[in-house]
Amino acid sequence: MSCDTPKFNITKGLDNTFIFTIKADGSTLPMEIVGTDTFVADLVPLDPADTTTGLSGISLSLPSDLLSGKVTLNISAASTSNLVSDKGTKTDRYYTRPVYKLIISCTTTNNGNFIAKVPEIYVD
């Protein structure tokens, strides 16, 4: 990961809102979302031995403008309380380390079933 790449951070103790633009298959244009489309997110620990933390089955909200292709992931402050954060050592200025990955299961009329992933999620 380069230093210029923004990190996907979840802040504990606060409501977190993330907006994703779903792109049409093979295009840079947003996909037209239909009211019956579903998007469900799971926050999965990167450590396969960790089965106690994470979040599952979070439904993403559909926008009022379905042509925009934007869906919203809301994670409540209460849901963040059990999430784990990982920090580096003092000599490395306590940098945050990724702990989770985000998997969004998408069921759409215009593009069928597919999965979107965010490979590194940081918690601070």
Backbone angles phi and psi of 90, in degrees to 5: -60, -40
* Residue 15: closest CA among 79, 64, 65, 71: 79
Q: Per residue of the chain (124 residues), give pLDDT as tens.
A: 344 457 899 999 999 999 999 988 888 999 999 999 999 999 999 988 887 788 999 999 998 889 999 999 999 999 999 999 988 777 777 888 999 999 999 999 989 999 999 999 999 8
Answer whether 0.75 is exceeded by the pTM.
Answer: yes
Backbone φ and ψ for 29, nearest 5 degrees, come out as: -85, 150
Give me the DSSP letters along 52-107: S--EEEEEPBPPS-GGG-EEEEEE-HHHHTT---EE--GGGTT-EE--EEEEEEEE
Measure the CA–CA gap between 68 and 47, rounded to whole angstroms.
Answer: 35
